[in-house]
């Protein structure tokens, strides 16, 4: 499949006599050039660093928030309208605000990534708690657990498979958003590479090289999160899936 | 009833219906008592409110009126001295067998915990499965884990809500035999809900027969047969047929007793 795709790509560029759009060979040479200049690794590290911070903050806020809002229906009724209004606002729309608040620094994209990933995590966690099986709760109450023990030992554990699914979705979104944020708010990272290659000389071979790297790293991130689903503590939650 | 561990007094339960102001009466003036160390079964037609009654006795639901006394004190909430074994299996899927059985042991030292866990895993016949997770076990084995978890917490009373209802016939028979053996050695009070009359007669010292909704206790049958009970002994058959008759059923298929 991959070989067929690359062949068709190359032929399409040649037949259309495009001056700007690169062939797979151009892109490969572009990637080599970026490696030789030491830019590729530098930009990947910059992007992954921002995603790591924004995403970790989103997990640290989203999971506890989701557990509390899922459990206490009063708190849910108070906060849910707020979440539902903020959630549909694209993180891209926050870019001017982020620059206003944080300037052109790492904090701006980290904030945007946080915003983009905190909602999927919170919403998945709330749904998991609200749909938790009553029998686990009753068994826990029966053994006389304190509220803290109930959250740590039963509610969190029962919801973990669904929380991990929310985390997978959120990480995908975070990786989408870092590219957009870097195009505007900073001057390093894979998103900056793409916009800079275009602006500074129509280097479309480097534009596509940046896109290829974004795709590959996104794939690796998803494979890493999928490893979380293999732990014994959560494997029960994925049984009965088609594969 | 004198020296009852559990007393159910004038208990009624009504749930709100679909239309406003409408109420569905589930339990109507239920009175019963369970003596210490007794094995008591509650039987009744499907949907009559047996499970509701057991959930109220255990403190998971609040009755509309009447009260439950355990050791003379009113029940307000669930209590670790009285453990519930659930129909739909309440073992925690994120813990392995060892961790599930030890769930109710929070105050013991580690070595004490391990000793108790090993004892009850052995008692329910799950030796060798300590590290298995519930989804790797059969339905019968999961129900054994839950019984071991209940026993390990050393409760005075065990409530069982059709615990063998989802198991196949042969597994059910084996589970009954094992439960009687465990009950005899552990000397717990057991209140056991079932819709299976044969199960009740095999297990119980006394059988409480409930009517259809709104349910009340129709009759109490003492089953003073020696254990182990044989399914073809005249005494067993006589008790079984008596209960079938009391519940308005004939043993001949397709015929309903008057």
Residue A113 buriedness (CB in 10 A; 0-12 / 13-18 / 19+): buried
Determine if the peptide bond prior to A77 is cis (ω within 30°).
no
Chain-chain contact of B133 with A235 (C-beta, under 8 angstroms): yes
Per-residue pLDDT reduced to its tens digit, B179-201: 999 999 988 999 999 999 999 99
Q: Which residues of B touch A (CB under 8 A)?
A: 58, 60, 77-80, 82-84, 86, 88-96, 103-104, 106, 133-135, 153
Domain boundaries, chain A: 91-237
**CATH number for the segment(s) B1-76+189-250:** 3.40.50.300
Closest-CA residue to A167 (of A230, A125, A132) = A125
Q: Does A160 contact B at CB distance below 8 Å? A: yes
Share of chain A above pLDDT 70, in %: 98
Q: Give A-chain residues touching B134 at CB under 8 angstroms.
A: 236
Compute the nearest-CA separation of B105 from chain A (Å).
9
- Mean pLDDT for chain B? 90
Report, as an integer, the average pLDDT of A27-49.
92
ipTM for the predicted complex: 0.87
Per-residue pLDDT reduced to its tens digit, A154-175: 999 999 999 999 999 999 999 9
Statement: residue B250 has pLDDT above 60: no
Rounded CA gap, B180 and B89, in Å?
A: 20
Report, as an integer, the average pLDDT of A107-126.
95
Statement: residue A241 has pLDDT above 70: no
Closest by Cβ to B94, choosing from A139, A142, A234? A234
Q: Give A-chain residues touching B93 at CB under 8 angstroms.
A: 236-237
Compute the nearest-CA separation of A164 from chain B (Å).
14
Q: What is the pLDDT of residue A100?
A: 92
Q: What is the pLDDT of residue A187?
A: 86
Per-residue pLDDT reduced to its tens digit, B142-193: 999 999 999 999 999 999 999 998 888 888 898 999 999 999 998 899 999 9
Mutation for testing the B interface, residue in A136, A140, A143, A237 having most B CBs under 10 Å: A143
Report, as an integer, the average pLDDT of A122-136.
95
Report, as an integer, the average pLDDT of B107-134.
92
DSSP A152: I
DSSP A23: P
Chain-chain contact of A139 with B80 (C-beta, under 8 angstroms): no
Which residue of chain A comes nearest to B134, CA vs CA? A236
Closest-CA residue to B79 (of B70, B91, B87) = B70
Statement: residue B139 has pLDDT above 60: yes
pLDDT band at B213 (very low <50, low <70, confident <90, very high): confident
**Interface contacts A/B by beta carbons within 8 Å:** 56
Which residue of chain B comes nearest to A136, CA vs CA? B90
Domain boundaries, chain B: 1-76+189-250
Rounded CA gap, A138 and A140, in Å?
A: 5
Q: What is the pLDDT of residue A76?
A: 96
Mutation for testing the B interface, residue in A142, A156, A236 having most B CBs under 10 Å: A142
**Count of Cβ atoms closer than 10 Å to residue A9 Cβ:** 16
Q: What is the pLDDT of residue B208?
A: 95
In whole angstroms, how far apart are CA A109 and each of A48, A87, A170, B3, B235? Answer: 11, 18, 15, 71, 80
Place of tokens 């769930």: B103
What's the residue count for chain A?
243
Statement: residue B231 has pLDDT above 50: yes
Q: Give A-chain residues touching B131 at CB under 8 angstroms.
A: none
Q: What is the pLDDT of residue B258?
A: 44
Q: Give B-chain residues touching A144 at CB under 8 angstroms.
A: 78-80
Q: What is the pLDDT of residue A15?
A: 86
Rounded CA gap, A228 and A111, in Å?
A: 25
Q: Give A-chain residues touching B85 at CB under 8 angstroms.
A: none
Q: Does A134 contact B at CB distance below 8 Å? A: no
Q: Does A138 contact B at CB distance below 8 Å? A: yes
Which segment of A1-5, B78-82, B154-158, B250-254 scores lowest on mean pLDDT? B250-254
Statement: residue B252 has pLDDT above 70: no
Which segment of A109-113, A115-119, B208-212 scores lowest on mean pLDDT? B208-212
Per-residue pLDDT reduced to its tens digit, B62-76: 999 999 999 999 999
Q: Give B-chain residues touching A156 at CB under 8 angstroms.
A: none
Statement: residue B2 has pLDDT above 50: yes
A113 in Cβ contact with A199 (< 8 Å): no
Q: What is the pLDDT of residue A242?
A: 65
Place of tokens 């870097």: A182
Statement: residue A190 has pLDDT above 90: yes
Q: Give A-chain residues touching B78 at CB under 8 angstroms.
A: 138, 141-142, 144
B159 in Cβ contact with B6 (< 8 Å): no
**Count of Cβ atoms closer than 10 Å to residue B145 Cβ:** 27
Report, as an integer, the average pLDDT of B19-26.
85
Q: What is the pLDDT of residue A243?
A: 56
**CATH number for the segment(s) A91-237:** 1.10.3720.10
Q: What is the pLDDT of residue B65?
A: 93
- Mean pLDDT for chain A? 91
Q: Does A222 contact B at CB distance below 8 Å? A: no
Chain-chain contact of B60 with A160 (C-beta, under 8 angstroms): no
Closest-CA residue to A218 (of A33, A51, A40) = A51
């Amino acid at each position: 499949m991959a070989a067929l795709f690359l062949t068709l790509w190359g032929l399409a560029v040649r037949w259309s006599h495009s001056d700007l759009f690169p062939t797979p060979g151009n892109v490969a040479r572009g990637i080599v050039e970026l490696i030789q200049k030491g830019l590729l690794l530098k930009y990947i590290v910059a992007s992954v660093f921002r995603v790591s911070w924004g995403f970790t903050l989103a997990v640290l806020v989203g999971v506890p928030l989701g557990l509390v809002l899922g459990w206490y229906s009063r708190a849910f009724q108070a906060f849910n309208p707020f979440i539902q209004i903020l959630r549909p606002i694209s993180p891209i729309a926050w870019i001017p605000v982020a620059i206003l608040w944080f300037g052109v620094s790492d904090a701006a994209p980290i904030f945007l990534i946080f915003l983009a990933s905190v909602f999927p995590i919170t919403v998945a966690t709330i749904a998991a708690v609200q749909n938790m099986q009553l029998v686990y709760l009753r068994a826990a109450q029966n053994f006389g657990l304190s509220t803290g023990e109930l959250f740590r030992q039963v509610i969190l554990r029962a919801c973990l498979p669904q929380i991990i699914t929310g985390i997978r979705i959120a990480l995908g979104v975070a990786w989408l958003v870092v590219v957009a944020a870097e195009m505007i708010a900073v001057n390093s990272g894979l998103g900056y590479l793409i916009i800079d290659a275009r602006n500074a000389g129509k280097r479309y071979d480097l534009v596509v090289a940046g896109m290829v790297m974004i795709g590959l790293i996104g794939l690796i991130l998803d494979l890493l999160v999928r490893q979380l689903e293999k732990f014994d503590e959560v494997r029960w939650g994925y049984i009965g899936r088609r594969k | 009833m004198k020296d009852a561990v559990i007393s159910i007094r004038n208990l009624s339960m009504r749930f709100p219906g679909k239309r406003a102001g409408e109420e569905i009466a589930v339990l109507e003036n239920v009175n019963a008592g369970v003596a210490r160390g007794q094995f008591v079964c509650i039987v009744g037609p499907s949907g009559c409110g047996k499970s509701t009654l057991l959930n109220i006795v255990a403190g998971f639901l609040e009755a509309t009126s009447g009260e439950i006394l355990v050791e003379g004190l009113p029940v307000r909430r669930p209590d670790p001295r009285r453990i519930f074994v659930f129909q739909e299996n309440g073992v925690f899927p994120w813990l392995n067998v060892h961790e599930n059985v030890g769930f109710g042991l929070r105050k013991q030292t580690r070595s004490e915990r391990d000793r108790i866990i090993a004892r009850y895993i052995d008692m329910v016949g799950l030796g060798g499965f300590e590290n298995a997770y519930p989804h790797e076990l059969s339905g019968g084995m999961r129900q054994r884990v839950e019984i071991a978890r209940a026993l390990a917490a050393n409760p005075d009373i065990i409530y069982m809500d059709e615990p063998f209802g989802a198991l196949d016939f042969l597994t059910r028979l084996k589970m009954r035999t094992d439960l009687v053996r465990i009950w005899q050695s552990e000397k717990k009070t057991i209140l056991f809900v079932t819709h299976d009359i044969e199960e009740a007669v095999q297990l119980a010292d006394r059988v409480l027969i409930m009517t259809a909704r709104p349910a009340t206790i129709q009759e109490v049958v003492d089953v003073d047969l020696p254990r182990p009970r044989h399914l073809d002994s005249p005494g067993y058959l006589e008790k079984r047929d008596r209960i079938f008759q009391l519940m308005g059923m004939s043993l001949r298929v397709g015929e309903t007793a008057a």
